[in-house]
Structure 1
Amino acid sequence: MKLKCVNCAETYPPIMIYSCNKCDGILEVFYEKKDLNDLNKEHLEMNKVNTMWRYSDRLSIGDDDNIISLYEGGTPLHFSKRYKSELNFFKGELYFKDETVNPTGSFKDRLVSVAISKAKEFGYNKIVCASSGNAGASAAAYAAKSGIDAVILAPQSTPKEKVIQILAYGATVLLVKGHYSNSYKLAKELSERHNLCNVSTTYLNPYGTDALKTVAFELNNQLKGEVPDYIFIPIGSGPLLKGVYQGYNELVQSLGNIGATMPKLIGVQAEGCAPIVSAFENNKEVVTAWGESNTIASGISDPLIGYEKDGTYTLKLIRDSKGSAVSVTDEEIKKAMRDLSQFEGIFAEPTGAASLAGFRKLCEKGAINSSSRVACLITGHGFKDMKIYQEMENGLHYINDISDLNAFL
Structure 2
Amino acid sequence: MPTEDSLATGQRSLGDPALDYPLWPPLTAGCPRTSTEDVSYPVEVDYAYDKADPAGLFAPAPVRGGLERWAPLLPPLLAPGLGEGATPLVEVSPGVYVKDESRNPTWSHKDRLNRCTTSAAVGAGAPGLAVASSGNHGASAAAYAARAGLRCVVFTGPDTPPNVDAFLNAYGAVVLPVPWEARWPLLRQVVDRLGLHPVSNLTTTHTGHAYGPEGYKTVAYEIFQDVGLPSAVFVPTGYGELLFGVWKGFVELHRLGLTAGVPRIHSCETAASGPLAQAIADGLPATHVTVGPSDAYSITSPVSGYRGVLAVRSSGGRALTLDDGQLADAQRELARAGLWTELSAAAGLAGLRSLGEPDLSDGPVVCVSTSSGFKDKGVGTRRTEPVAPDWDAVERRLRAAGITG
8 Å contact from structure 2 (residues 54, 258) kept in 1:
no
Q: Which range is displaced more, 262-271 or 115-124?
A: 115-124
Match of 2:313 in 1: 319
Aligned-residue offset at 1:258: 1.4
| Secondary structure of the structure 2 residue equivalent to 1:380 | coil
Cα distance between partner residues in 2 of 1:36 and 1:191: 35
Matched, 1:341 2:356: no
Aligned counterpart in structure 2 of residue 399 of structure 1, from 384, 387, 393:
387
Aligned counterpart in structure 2 of residue 219 of structure 1, from 209, 220, 223:
223
Q: Give 5+ residue unaligned stretches, structure 2.
A: 1-8, 36-40, 399-405
Report how many residues are paired.
376
| Secondary structure of the structure 2 residue equivalent to 1:375 | strand
Matches within 5 A, 1:241-390: 241-254=243-256, 256-259=257-260, 261-280=261-280, 282-304=281-303, 308=304, 310=305, 312-342=306-336, 344-363=337-356, 368-369=358-359, 371=361, 373-387=364-378
Q: Give 5+ residue unaligned stretches, structure 1.
A: 85-92
Matched, 1:30 2:29: no
Structure 1 letter corresponding to 2:222 = E
Change (3 A) 1:406 1:149: closer
8 Å contact from structure 1 (residues 273, 293) kept in 2:
yes
Matches within 5 A, 1:21-100: 21-24=32-35, 25-42=41-58, 49-61=64-76, 66-81=78-93, 93-100=95-102
| Secondary structure of the structure 2 residue equivalent to 1:104 | coil
Identity %: 30
Q: Which range is displaced more, 286-295 or 203-212?
A: 286-295
Cα distance between partner residues in 2 of 1:138 and 1:330: 25
Change (3 A) 1:127 1:41: closer
Aligned-residue offset at 1:20: 1.8
Aligned-residue offset at 1:183: 2.1
Cα distance between partner residues in 2 of 1:193 and 1:125: 12
Cα distance between partner residues in 1 of 2:282 and 2:31: 27
Aligned counterpart in structure 1 of residue 212 of structure 2, from 200, 205, 208:
208
Q: TM-score, normalised by structure 2?
A: 0.86
Cα distance between partner residues in 1 of 2:61 and 2:116: 18
Aligned counterpart in structure 1 of residue 20 of structure 2, from 4, 11, 18:
11
Cα distance between partner residues in 2 of 1:268 and 1:115: 25
Structure 2 letter corresponding to 1:338 = R
Aligned-residue offset at 1:113: 0.9
Aligned-residue offset at 1:103: 0.3
| Secondary structure of the structure 1 residue equivalent to 2:355 | helix
Aligned-residue offset at 1:406: 5.8
Change (3 A) 1:283 1:166: same
| Secondary structure of the structure 1 residue equivalent to 2:211 | helix
Aligned-residue offset at 1:230: 1.0
Aligned-residue offset at 1:283: 4.7
Aligned alpha-carbon RMSD (Å): 2.4
Cα distance between partner residues in 2 of 1:109 and 1:257: 26
8 Å contact from structure 1 (residues 277, 326) kept in 2:
yes
